Amino acid sequence: MKEALILGIETSCDETAAAVVAGGRQVKSNIIASQVDIHRKFGGVVPEIASRKHLELINLVVEEALQAAGCTLADLACLAVTQGPGLVGALLVGVNTAKTLAYATGKPLVAVNHVLAHVAANYLVHDVEFPAVCLVVSGGHTSLLYLAARGEAELLASTRDDAAGEAFDKIARVLGLGYPGGPAIELAAREGDAHAFAFPKAFSGQDDVLAFSFSGLKSAVINTVHNIIQKGQKLPVADVAASFQQAVVDILVEKTCLAARSKGTKTVLLAGGVAANLLLRERLAAALAAEGRSLLFPPLSLCTDNAAMVAAAGWDNYRRGQFAGLDLNADPALDMMRH
Partner 1 sequence: MFVLGIDTATLVCSVAVASEDKTVAEYTLQVKKTHSQRLLPLIAALLADAGLTPAGLDGIAVAAGPGSFTGVRIGIVTAKALGQALTIPLCGISTLEALAAQHPWFDGLICPVLDARRRQVYTALFRGGGGSLQRLAEDKAAALPAVLEEVEAYGEKVLFVGDAVPVHQDFIRGELGVKACFMPPESAICRAATVARLGLEQLARGQAASWRELAPRYLRQSEAEVKYRAAHGGGGQCL
> Distance of CA 13 to CAs 44, 158, 329, Å?
11, 20, 16
* 144/35 Cα distance (integer angstroms): 28
Size of the site for Zn ion (CB under 5 A): 2
Q: Candidates 25-33, 87-95, 173-181, 245-253 — which segment interacts with partner 1 by CB under 8 A?
A: 87-95
Q: Minimal CA–CA distance to 76: which of 324, 315, 325?
A: 315
* 130/123 Cα distance (integer angstroms): 12
By CB under 8 A, residue 222 contacts partner 1: no
Neighbours of 187 (CB within 10 A): 13
- How long, in residues, is the chain? 339
Residue number, 8 or 192, with CB nearest to partner 1: 8
By CB under 8 A, residue 2 contacts partner 1: no
* 238/184 Cα distance (integer angstroms): 11
Tell me which of Zn ion, partner 1, none is bound by residue 138, counting a contact when its beta carbon lies within the kind-specific cut-off of 5 to 8 angstroms: Zn ion
Instruction: Pick the binder of partner 1 from 69, 95, 238, 307 (CB under 8 A).
Output: 95
Instruction: Pick the binder of partner 1 from 157, 330, 334, 336 (CB under 8 A).
Output: 330
Q: Candidates 38-46, 145-153, 203-211, 283-291 — which segment interacts with partner 1 by CB under 8 A?
A: 38-46
- Chain centroid to CA 149: how far? 20
Tell me if the bond preceding 332 is cis, omega within 30° of 0: no
Residue number, 62 or 115, with CB nearest to partner 1: 62
By CB under 8 A, residue 327 contacts partner 1: yes
Helix H segments across the chain? Answer: 36-40, 47-69, 88-105, 114-120, 164-174, 181-189, 215-230, 237-263, 278-289, 300-303, 308-320
Instruction: Pick the binder of Zn ion from 29, 51, 138, 265 (CB under 5 A).
Output: 138
By CB under 5 A, residue 15 contacts Zn ion: no
Instruction: Pick the binder of partner 1 from 2, 41, 231, 234 (CB under 8 A).
Output: 41
Q: What DSSP character marks residue 266?
A: S
Neighbours of 237 (CB within 10 A): 18
Tell me which of partner 1, Zn ion, none is bound by residue 60, counting a contact when its beta carbon lies within the kind-specific cut-off of 5 to 8 angstroms: partner 1
By CB under 8 A, residue 30 contacts partner 1: no
Residue number, 79 or 217, with CB nearest to partner 1: 79
Q: Minimal CA–CA distance to 161: which of 93, 217, 97?
A: 217
Instruction: Pick the binder of partner 1 from 1, 104, 290, 333 (CB under 8 A).
Output: 104
Residue 329: CB minimum distance to partner 1, A: 5
Q: Candidates 37-45, 48-56, 301-309, 326-334 — which segment interacts with Zn ion by CB under 5 A?
A: 301-309
Instruction: Pick the binder of Zn ion from 14, 169, 305, 316 (CB under 5 A).
Output: 305
Tell me which of partner 1, Zn ion, none is bound by residue 42, counting a contact when its beta carbon lies within the kind-specific cut-off of 5 to 8 angstroms: partner 1
Q: Minimal CA–CA distance to 6: which of 26, 21, 17, 18?
A: 21
* 94/109 Cα distance (integer angstroms): 12
Torsion of CA 120, 121, 127, 128, to 10 degrees: -50
By CB under 8 A, residue 251 contacts partner 1: no
Contacts to partner 1 by CB under 8 A? 38, 41-42, 46, 48-49, 51-53, 55-56, 58-60, 62-63, 73, 89, 92-93, 95-97, 99-101, 103-105, 325-330
Contacts to Zn ion by CB under 5 A? 138, 305
